[in-house]
């Protein structure tokens, strides 16, 4: 069984699709018989990825489209839509996956803030603005997947710009799912992909070899498709170090900062180190 949008000869559009989780998902969709458009800024990686996907597709290069795209620019995303519709005539799956690190603390590295928000958050906003209404109007089963992050939920200290961008994606995708649900006869579903520690191009900047705790992008793609099959909205991925139970407890603790009136980010506050450890040692109800 698969999500009803994931059927042969339908079309998927994946931003950030030349590598990492985006490319791994493209491989899975090609194997299911879909047409796939991968959009990215790195034209060399796009070309290599397209060759690989064409070899894997039963219809070869006829099923693959590549598009150099800057998701931070609305007109670039509009050109992507036009190219996909001209080639394939419809869009069944939109995966807003392009992302970058920020490198911005609350009052430093302004350029990092601009980059993180323009790519991570505005890239998703632009994708939704350009594609969503057309997917609704098709009247066919469709799916929109936005790639978030656990950092947008638990907000660990270090890269505030990245955390803010991913928190925005969470809020935006929740609103998307709710609004789609209110449209009579709408056949478009929304899904928030929340990867765990994954060995992607962003990770490779800091680790030449895959850390033992990391998942591979292919594992995330498999987890995503299984969750879509179940109809899940929140696609919360574990990894080799963090179990679903650990994720749940960390998320509950983060929410508890507000309900318990603890200091912000108390998980990393020295006065709460023992309390947090005790909380994590207890099993979920």
Could you list the residue range(s) of the whole structural domain that residue 251 is in? 243-285
Q: Are residues 170 and 254 in the same domain?
A: no
pLDDT tens for each residue of the chain, 285 residues long: 579 999 999 999 999 999 999 999 999 999 999 999 999 999 999 999 999 999 999 999 999 999 999 999 999 999 999 999 999 999 999 999 999 988 899 999 999 999 999 999 999 999 999 999 999 999 999 999 999 999 999 999 999 999 999 999 999 999 999 999 999 999 999 999 999 999 987 666 667 788 999 999 999 999 999 999 999 999 999 999 999 999 999 999 999 999 999 999 999 999 999 999 999 998 765
Q: In what side-by-side order are the strands of the sheet with 188-194? A: 64-68, 35-40, 11-15, 93-96, 142-147, 188-194, 234-236
Which of 110, 162, 199, 234 is catalytic? The answer is 162
Contact 47, 61 (CB under 8 A): no
Is 162 part of the annotated catalytic residue set? Answer: yes
Half-sphere exposure of 119 (CA within 13 A, CB side): 20
Q: Are residues 78 and 193 in the same domain?
A: yes
- Within a domain: 5: no
- Within a domain: 39: yes
Report the domain count for the chain.
2
Q: Are residues 264 and 199 in the same domain?
A: no
* β-pair type (234-236, 188-194): parallel
Q: Are residues 122 and 259 in the same domain?
A: no
Q: Are residues 30 and 53 in the same domain?
A: yes
- The predicted model scores a pTM of 0.96
- Within a domain: 3: no
Q: Are residues 213 and 268 in the same domain?
A: no
Q: Which of 226, 242, 258 is the last residue of a domain?
A: 242
Q: Are residues 275 and 196 in the same domain?
A: no
Contact 93, 12 (CB under 8 A): yes
User: What CA–CA distances, in Å, run from 169 to 30, 92, 152, 162, 178?
Assistant: 26, 21, 8, 11, 14
């Amino acid at each position: 069984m698969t999500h009803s949008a994931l059927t042969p000869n339908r079309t998927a559009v994946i931003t950030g699709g030349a590598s990492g989780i985006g490319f791994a998902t493209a491989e899975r969709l090609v194997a299911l018989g879909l047409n796939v458009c991968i959009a990215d800024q790195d034209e060399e990686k796009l070309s290599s990825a397209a060759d690989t996907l064409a070899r894997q597709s039963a219809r070869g290069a006829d099923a693959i489209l590549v598009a150099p795209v800057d998701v931070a620019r609305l007109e670039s995303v509009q050109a992507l839509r036009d190219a996909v519709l001209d080639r394939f005539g419809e869009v069944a799956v939109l995966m807003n996956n392009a992302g970058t690190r920020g490198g911005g603390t609350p009052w430093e590295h302004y350029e990092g803030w601009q980059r993180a928000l323009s790519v991570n958050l505005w890239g998703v906003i632009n994708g939704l603005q350009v594609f969503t209404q057309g997917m609704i109007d098709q009247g066919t089963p469709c799916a929109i997947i936005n790639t978030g992050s656990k950092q947008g939920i638990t907000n660990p200290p270090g890269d505030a710009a990245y955390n803010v961008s991913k928190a925005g994606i969470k809020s935006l995708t929740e609103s998307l799912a709710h609004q789609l649900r209110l449209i009579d006869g709408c056949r478009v579903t929304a899904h928030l992909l929340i990867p765990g520690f994954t060995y992607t191009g962003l990770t490779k900047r800091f680790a030449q070899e895959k850390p033992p705790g990391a998942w591979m992008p292919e594992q995330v793609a498999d987890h995503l498709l299984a969750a879509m099959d179940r109809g899940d909205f929140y696609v919360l991925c574990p990894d080799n170090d963090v179990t679903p139970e650990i994720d749940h407890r960390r998320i509950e603790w983060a929410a508890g900062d507000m309900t318990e009136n603890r200091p912000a980010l108390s998980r990393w506050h020295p006065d709460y180190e023992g309390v947090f450890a005790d909380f994590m040692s207890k099993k979920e109800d």
